[in-house]
């Protein structure tokens, strides 16, 4: 499989880009990697890059976007931060990726048993991590069940995963609300913004 070129990137639509990622995750689950020569792709991309998707995911060592979607060099922009939320710098990176570099799809990828989400559920406080946790805590408050406070913590993995899913939704809302550039591109059909959850037990990505 060759690295994307300006010509192949131009053929990509938001829908086709999403299909490529779904097919890649299916290969990953089946342990069937696409046939690609990474050193050849190093050479092919040495004078330019033409990725088709931008993926915002967590720093979790088990959730590498390139691996779980079976993508090669030059295929995707990968933005990683604990808790996969957005700030001004990440939004700027997304605007560059879509408006200037030509990606057609933004995926906000959360995952099950997320440590950052667990920290938010427990209202953890530690150095600079405190400010990061504060950005995720609105997702904790937005999940109303269970009502019993003793079950609204990291020991309740169902609650943790529900907060992870809500955090993805809130992040997408923030992208649209805080980036006029990306919101207009989505309105014009130039890009698609979608959420997804990665299951660390199965390797499956569920888009929604």
Binding site for Zn(2+): what residues are annotated? 58, 60, 111, 114
Give CA–CA dist 25/163, Å, rounded. Answer: 23
Question: Which is it for strands 105-111 and 76-80: parallel, antiparallel or unpaired?
Answer: unpaired
Give CA–CA dist 175/7, Å, rounded. Answer: 28
How far is CA 35 from each of CA 71, 89, 179, rounded to the nearest angstrom?
A: 11, 35, 37
DSSP string across 142-196: H------GGGSSTT-HHHHHHHHHHHHHHHHHHHHHH-HHHHHHHHTTS-EEEEE
List residues forming the annotated binding site. 58, 60, 111, 114
Peptide bond into 146 cis (omega under 30): yes
Q: Specify whether the CB–CB gap between 192 and 186 falls below 8 A.
A: yes
Bridge partners (DSSP) listed for residue 109 = 57, 196
Collect all residues with Cβ–Cβ distance below 8 Å to 133 and sequence separation of at least 6.
83, 116, 119, 120, 123, 124, 125
């Amino acid at each position: 499989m060759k690295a994307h070129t300006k010509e192949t990137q131009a053929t990509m639509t938001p829908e086709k880009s999403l299909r490529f990622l779904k097919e890649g995750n299916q290969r990953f689950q089946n342990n069937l990697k696409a046939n690609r020569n990474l050193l050849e792709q190093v050479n092919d991309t040495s004078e330019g890059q033409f990725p088709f998707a931008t993926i915002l995911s967590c720093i979790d060592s088990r959730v590498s976007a390139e691996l779980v979607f079976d993508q090669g060099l030059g295929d995707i922009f990968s933005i990683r931060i604990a808790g996969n939320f957005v700030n001004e710098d990440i939004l700027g990176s997304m605007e560059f990726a879509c408006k200037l570099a030509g990606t057609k799809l933004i995926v906000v990828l959360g995952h099950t048993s997320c440590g950052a989400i667990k920290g938010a559920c427990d209202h953890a406080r530690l150095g600079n991590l405190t400010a990061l946790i504060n950005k995720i805590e609105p997702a904790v408050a937005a999940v109303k069940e269970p009502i019993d406070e003793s079950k609204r913590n990291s020991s309740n993995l169902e609650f943790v995963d529900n907060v992870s899913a809500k955090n993805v939704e809130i992040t997408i809302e923030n992208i649209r609300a805080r980036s006029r550039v990306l919101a207009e591109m989505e309105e014009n059909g130039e890009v698609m913004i979608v959420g997804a959850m990665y299951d660390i037990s199965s390797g499956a990505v569920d888009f929604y």
